[in-house]
Structure 1
Amino acid sequence: MHIETRLALHNAHLADLRHEADTYRLAAAVRQPRDLRARLGWTLVEVGLRLASAPRAVAVARQA
């Protein structure tokens, strides 16, 4: 492939990548922050899972 053709294809691909990056940045800026209820709910789930698994870890440590 001729070098000018290769360079032109490279520049076209680079322009496409920049366009996709700009589109993603704009979409991320417009996206609303997560709902407070959803964040609180997932935090409670995480705390509950940690509390549910804590006694098992303590019991294993005592047996050793």
Structure 2
Amino acid sequence: MEINAQLARLHHADLRARASAHHRAAAVKPATELRTRVGWTLVDLGLRLVSTSRPAVALAR
């Protein structure tokens, strides 16, 4: 077999391996990003609730 054909086949196999590794990593990443985003949103909401100075509600009898 010609050396260029062998190199092309090896390069193709390497690219396929890298692509499949990237797809596996990308499939895991969104769940982590979503979890992080939801967590920080909850922290932000909690800080807003704690730091908000609301007037006391008077109870009428």
TM-score norm. by structure 1 comes to 0.48
Aligned length: 39
Question: Which stretches in structure 2 are left out of the alignment for 5+ residues?
Answer: 1-22
- Residue matched to 1:54: none
4+ residue runs of structure 1 moved beyond 6 angstroms? none
Which has the higher Rg, Structure 1 or Structure 2?
Answer: 2
User: Given the alignment, which residue of 26, 30, 43 partners 2:47?
Assistant: 26
Identity value in percent: 5
Larger fraction in helix: 1
TM-score norm. by structure 2 comes to 0.50
Question: Which stretches in structure 1 are left out of the alignment for 5+ residues?
Answer: 48-64
Alignment root-mean-square deviation, CA: 1.8
User: Given the alignment, which residue of 24, 28, 43 partners 1:7?
Assistant: 28
1:1-64 mapped onto 2 (5 Å cutoff): 2-33=23-54, 35-36=55-56, 39-40=57-58, 43-44=59-60, 47=61
